[in-house]
A and B are shown apart, each in its own frame.
Chain A
Amino acid sequence: KAGVTQTPRYLIKTRGQQVTLSCSPISGHRSVSWYQQTPGQGLQFLFEYFSETQRNKGNFPGRFSGRQFSNSRSEMNVSTLELGDSALYLCASSFLATGDGYTFGSGTRLTVV
């Protein structure tokens, strides 16, 4: 059974650029959540999608956005990149996201220079 697949694994971008990250959940999982992980802040919730609908959103600026497609694949976009956006971005999928726990992808390491 394939796990959660995130692409790309590594990205280097310049301040002011935008970036799109992709996540393919485990087959049959309809909930996809995104987290930002940094050494100082730990895992911070970005948003959660289920059946193409955003059901919850974290406290991030509007530069962070996401969407989910009908096949449950999800993308997140960060516009006007700042140095502080450098982080590991983790996608996690679950069957319902109502208490069944996550399976995380390997993450995308974003470096903004």
Chain B
Amino acid sequence: QKEVEQNSGPLSVPEGAIASLNCTYSDRGSQSFFWYRQYSGKSPELIMFIYSNGDKEDGRFTAQLNKASQYVSLLIRDSQPSDSATYLCAVMEGTYKYIFGTGTRLKVLA
């Protein structure tokens, strides 16, 4: 059973700090990696995706991928209280199917 693992948290950071969220995956053949944000009582929304080793930046968000170590991370710079949510890591398994981690709850303290 292929797995995606995340620390459930909560991860608490002060406003303005960098939040670092991590995810490891078991399938070495995985090629596509996604980060979703889910506010309490809402459905997940796509933040960004990454396919290649290295960093990918989008505004305050940076995704980092290291296929050799099988981990993907999400950095949130200048964290805001509105960033408080659960962050889900998803890995594409084979074709047409994503495996989701159980999410890390982030709390940004004002």
Query: A residues engaging B (CB < 8 A)?
Result: 31, 33, 35, 41-43, 45, 48, 50, 55-56, 58, 90, 97-107
Contact check, A99 vs B32: say whether CB atoms are below 8 A apart.
yes
User: How many A-B pairs fall under 8 Å by CB?
Assistant: 55
Given contacts A99-B31, A101-B34, contact A31 B96 (CB under 8 A): yes
Contact A58 B97 (CB under 8 A): yes
Asked if residues B88 and A43 are in contact (CB atoms below 8 Å), the reply is: yes
Determine whether the beta carbon of B94 is less than 8 Å from that of A56: yes
Decide: B99 and A45 in contact? CB cutoff 8 A: yes
State the CA gap A103–B92 with chains docked (Å).
Answer: 15
Q: For residue B97, which residue of chain A has the nearest CB? A: A56
Closest A residue, CB atoms, query B43:
A104
Q: How far is the CB of A54 from chain B (nearest CB, A)?
A: 10
Would B46 and A55 count as touching, CB distance under 8 A?
Answer: no
Interface residues of B (CB under 8 A from A): 31-32, 34, 42-46, 49, 51, 88, 90, 92, 94-103
Q: Which 3 A-B pairs have the closest CB atoms?
A: A42-B102, A43-B100, A104-B43
A56's partner among B45, B49, B51, B95 (CB-CB below 8 A) is B95
Complex Cα–Cα for A15 and B92 (A): 34
- In the bound assembly, the distance between CA atoms of A31 and B99 in angstroms comes to 17
CB neighbours of A102 from chain B (8 A) = 44, 46, 98
Complex Cα gap A37–B19 (Å)? 25
Distance (Å) between the CB of A49 and the closest chain B CB? 9
Residues of A with C-beta under 8 A to B101: 42
Question: What residue in chain B is nearest A41 (Cβ atoms)?
Answer: B102
Contacts of B45 in A (CB 8 A): 103-104
Q: List 24 interface pairs A-B (beta carbons < 8 Å), by A numbering.
A: A31-B96, A33-B96, A42-B88, A42-B103, A43-B90, A45-B99, A48-B97, A50-B96, A55-B96, A56-B96, A56-B97, A58-B97, A90-B44, A98-B95, A99-B31, A99-B49, A99-B51, A99-B92, A101-B34, A104-B43, A104-B44, A104-B45, A106-B42, A106-B43
